[in-house]
Structure 1
Amino acid sequence: MPRVVLVIGASQYLGARTVQTLQDDPGVDRVLGVDSAPPHLPIGEAEFVHADACGDGVDRVIRESGADTVLHLGLLSTDRGPVQENTRVGTMQVLAACQRSTAVSRLVLRSGSALEARDVAEVETYTRGLARRRPDLSVAVLRFANIIGPSVETPLTHYLGMRVVPTMRGHDPRMQFIHEDDGVEVLRRMALGSGSPYDGFFDVAAPGAMPLSACLRRVGRPGIPVPERGLRVLGGLGRRRGAHYSPERLRRLCCDRVFDTGQLERVLEWTPTHTSRQAFEAFADAAGRASDQLERADPPNRFGPAAARVRAGVGR
């Protein structure tokens, strides 16, 4: 039976790419993208629905769309209140709306994309409770490694693009990545799966890892070791300029954890097409090309606002 799929977080790169991919699948009849800001990428013939994380819009969309499959990919953009709090509240509202729905039979949640550790734990605990309360609802939680590649912009790519990159003193974490194309493919496959063995918590990452110091050398950025107290001070200053980093965010961005992807690969009968190093190289090559283009630009503002966005992305 053809599916009706709702993709929450469609204004972001990953959400828009997932919408594009799902609407080309013969097993999908209808795709709706949901967010409180328009998608940054074209989403083809898919419908876009405006909904705010802080209101009842998500519940209404899930109820009125008749969606049987919901993908919640993280932050719903909003201008009201702190981003982190809006993300947590929005996620909890999505889970509650799926519990109330009589049509939703499959829920895929991207865990921890814009939440602090304690909020991740709260959301995942509630998700386990939801699965117990609604045993007929097929639920998968995807714990993604850092998504990276030539096109995606994330807090990590912004961090790596700073002129001088603050690092935690005495800490050189191993970085594990997932290429943006592989991330979209995981979401497509998990959305179309249902029931055991597709239920549960899954790590999503590519094989291998790189030390943060090696990543910084590859993109030509100096790392400045700073004690944790200093990072708190820098975090306050950075928020005024839109950097939004903190000791907690750095711990999460640079998580010294090697993901166990065996369960995911067995269930999907699939492995990522890029290793962690290859995914990072794709990002570094694209950043290098953008930097070279800016170097050749004369005068510097030749490309106007577009150049300013690229310059911000590569930290120039």
Structure 2
Amino acid sequence: MAPRIVLVTGVADQLGGRLAARLADDPEIERVLGVDTAPSSVPRSTRVEFVRADIRDPRIAKVLTSARVDTVVHAAPRPGPGAKERNVIGTMQLLAACQRAETVRKLVVKSTAEVYGGGADAPAVFTEQDAAAKGDAAEIEGYALGLARRRPEVVLTIMRLAEIIGPHVDNALTRYFSLPVVPTVLGFDARVQFLHIDDALAVLERATTHDLPGVFNVGGDGVLMLSQAIRRAGRIPLPMPKAAIGPATRLTGGGVELSPSLSRLLSYGRVIDTTRLKTAFGFTPKWTTTTAFDDYVRGSTHR
């Protein structure tokens, strides 16, 4: 069943804002509500109705019920200061509101491949059957799965996105590759996999407009070695002991703050299998890992 009234969280971010705008362009969708605490990144020319609200506030339930929302796209989880409270507590409140709202029949959760963790003993390729590691992403997915058990009529789709990249994408990873000298972990050359932001938008749009329940990995085909990516970005690698990476990135400028998850990625890498995405979900990314990264390099504003 096609959605009629959609609520998208996290519209202050580039991904959430652009997704809300795309959904508002769909003539079969009557209303799109974009929720965030900061001003929306959605152009005013769209039909998106911006609602300044904090999903950690129980009053988010009033937004769902008063608008008779039938589809919720939770695109808000993001790193940064206060991420634990914002992401996990916010998700708890949002899903509690979804459980009480009788009109809600679909939930799409933007998750991340970080849910698998990573380390020296990690598998070469993660599939959806691999157990989630501890962390915010695993907690968020756990709460979503709990809602699906309590409300089995709700269609739940969880999309585990690889590292998002592309022209004008601003996150810790793109800032890392924009450093004039890029610190790397001595003795390691991680395998990395990227997802172009256009494919991330397309896959989340499909998850919203179609009933495709389940958990799906999303990433571009192929991998790059970290050393290859640095060379393609025209940067110079600087190998150093792992403990020195964080301080070194701060000293080199660029506003890079390496989270524990990103530090693991740059040491051990992470590759996800996307077979179910192509078969059960019916989507093949347009951009490979390599072409997505090259498009980021061409459009980078930090060169």
SS in 2 for 1:28: coil
Distance 1:50 1:77 in 2: 20
- Greater CA deviation, 30-39 or 250-259? 250-259
- Stretches of structure 2 that go unaligned for 5 or more consecutive residues are 118-133
Q: What displacement does 1:173 show?
A: 1.3
1:14–1:152: 8 Å Cα contact kept in structure 2? no
Give the secondary structure class of the aligned counterpart of 1:268.
coil
Over aligned residues, Cα RMSD in angstroms?
2.7
Q: TM-score, normalised by structure 2?
A: 0.84
| Cα distance change, pair 91–223 in 1 and its aligned pair in 2 (3 A) | farther
Tell me if 1:205 matches 2:222: no
User: Which of these residues, 285, 289, 301, is aligned with residue 272 of structure 1?
Assistant: 285
Question: Following the alignment from structure 1 to structure 2, what is the Cα–Cα distance between the partners of residues 161 and 76?
Answer: 21
After superposition, the Cα gap between the structure-2 partners of 1:223 and 1:85, relative to the gap in structure 1 and judged at 3 Å, is: farther
- Please tell me whether residue 281 in structure 1 is matched to residue 282 in structure 2: no
Query: What is residue 189 of structure 2 aligned with on the other side?
Result: 172
Between the two proteins, the alignment pairs up a number of residues equal to 283
Residue 172 of structure 2 aligns to which amino acid in structure 1? P
- CA distances 1:258-296 after superposition (whole Å, capped 9, x unpaired): 211111222332311111111111100112xx4xxxxxx
TM-score between the two structures when normalised by the length of structure 1: 0.80
Instruction: Read off the aligned partner of 1:145 and give its amino acid letter.
Output: A
Return the alpha-carbon distance in structure 1 between the equivalents of residues 104 and 188 of structure 2: 44
Could you list the structure 1 runs, at least 4 aligned residues long, displaced by more than 6 angstroms after superposition: 113-116
Which is helix-richer, 1 or 2?
A: 1
Instruction: Quote the Cα distance in structure 2 between the aligned partners of 1:202 and 1:188.
Output: 14
TM-fit CA distance, 1:253: 6.4
Spell out, residue by residue over 1:232-256, the C-alpha distance to the aligned partner (whole angstroms, 9 max, x if none). 5557x57x98432144332246762
One-letter amino acid of the structure 2 residue matched with residue 48 of structure 1: F
Q: Give CA-to-partner distance per residue, 1:201-243, whole Å, 9 cap, x none.
A: 11011111111111111112222223233245557x57x9843
State the structure with bigger RCO (CA 8 A, min sep 6), 1 or 2. 2
Which of 160, 176, 183 pairs up with 1:159? 176
Structure 1 gaps, min length 5: 291-313
Q: Which amino acid aligns with 2:157?
A: A
Q: Quote the residue 1:216 is aligned against.
A: 230
User: What is the Cα deviation at residue 142 of structure 1?
Assistant: 0.7
Amino acid at match of 2:220: A
Matched, 1:89 2:103: no
The question of 1:36 aligning with 2:50 is answered: no
1:63 aligned residue = 65
Q: Does 1:110 align with 2:127?
A: no
Percent identical among aligned pairs is 39
